[in-house]
Amino acid sequence: MANSSLPLPLLELQSWCRESNVNPAYAVIVSGVPLDTSVADVEELMETVKAFGRVRVRAQKAAPPLNTDILLCECRNPVDPSKAPPEIFPHTGESPWNLTLLIETAEEPDEFALKLKRLLESEGKTLADIEPLLSQESNLKQEHPSSIIRAVGELLEKVRPPQENNAFRRLRVFSGVIPTPAGEETLENWLEQAQLMLDECDCSAKEKRKRIVESVKGPALEIIQAIRCNDPDTPPQKFLEVIENVFGTTESGEDLYFAFRSMQQKPTERLSDFVRRLEKALTKAVRKGGVSPALRDRVRAEQLLRGAVESDIMLLQLRLKERLHNPPSFMALLSEIRADEDQKMLRRHTTRVRQVGATDVTTPSLSE
């Protein structure tokens, strides 16, 4: 039987599952994990419990007083409380990690909670966005609906754009026809642009749906129309998922994640090029659900340490292993690597110039 003590308040754990799109029936909370433990090591150890099946880490939270991590794991199989151990022992012989299940305490959300969730989703927000506003209310432990409504209202007033037509580049056209016609985007490029629009554009879900519809035609438009007929309020993210499932690779998120974990730097490949190649594969795995977006920076850093077999010295200089608990973003990491590569190139160029200059110096002959 899994540990009954909760590492965090129950409401916070349930909210964490919702934000990470993890069904509580498949969720296991792992606490007491050392900060320097890699995601791959956690997943490998959790999969030794046969009742869990394949396990993926979906999110993490720090536990500063204990100097450890709390991880939200999703199992392939529904978790059976009678077969789940209360703790699991790492191979290194360190202290055991505590396992907590939510299935025994998971409840169906009430009508108010559902309405609140839908309202926040329509504005592209989560419960985490209103927590700072709720903290201004008296007694957080007694979160009355009226205080939540006021907090949501204040949040929407702050984030709602004055008009829907905010500046954002229009999406290129995608039809799903192969080979890609002239003037149209490939599936991969279109998905990247559309995802960027969803993440960065400060407009409502309705406006985002409209922009996606305007950018598709032919077979892709037929698919979108079929989705809208079934549910006119389909989340924009669902449009991208369906388009990728219909026109993209048949590989699952698990397959893409495994392929990402197997990538290595080529003998003549620069580290910056390897990072970009990793990011492309990681994006596919995240889009297919093989990796949680919240863990993107961490798994990228871990795979860079594992796969950059031609750049050991540069990795030591970057001190990436020491920064795994707070890893840099893709752009920050790429900037650091490029700066280091440029410095090395400049030093090589300077050395070469000095060598050439030394050979040009003529030695006086004895006859002179």
Q: What is the pLDDT of residues 143-167, one digit of tens each?
A: 555 566 666 666 666 555 545 455 5
> What is the per-residue pLDDT for 138?
44
The model's pTM: 0.60
Q: Which of 105-119, 161-175, 249-263 has the lowest mean pLDDT?
A: 105-119
Q: Tell me the helix, strand and coil percentages in the chain, rounded to 5.
A: 55, 10, 35
The stretch 123-147 carries a mean pLDDT of 58
Q: Is the pLDDT of residue 189 over 80?
A: yes
> What is the per-residue pLDDT for 251?
85
> What is the per-residue pLDDT for 175?
93
Give burial (CB, 10 Å; 0-12/13-18/19+) of 290: buried
> What is the per-residue pLDDT for 140?
43
The stretch 17-41 carries a mean pLDDT of 90
> What is the per-residue pLDDT for 56?
92
Q: Is the pLDDT of residue 105 over 60?
A: no
Give burial (CB, 10 Å; 0-12/13-18/19+) of 117: middle
- For residue 179, whether the previous peptide bond is cis, meaning omega lies within 30 degrees of 0, is yes
Q: Which of 2-16, 81-95, 199-213 has the lowest mean pLDDT?
A: 2-16
Q: Which of 140-154, 195-209, 268-282 has the lowest mean pLDDT?
A: 140-154
Contacts of 67 (CB under 8 A, 6+ apart): 35
Q: Is the pLDDT of residue 110 over 60?
A: no
Distance, C-alpha 23 to centroid of its chain: 18
> What is the per-residue pLDDT for 250?
80
Phi, psi of 161 (to 5 degrees): -70, 150
> What is the per-residue pLDDT for 303?
95
User: What amino acid occupies position 11?
Assistant: L
**Residue 358: strand, helix, or coil:** helix
167 vs 101 pLDDT, higher one: 101
Question: Over the chain, what is the mean pLDDT?
Answer: 82
Instruction: Using pLDDT thresholds of 50, 70 and 90, give the confidence band for residue 141.
Output: very low
11 vs 214 pLDDT, higher one: 214
> What is the per-residue pLDDT for 106?
44
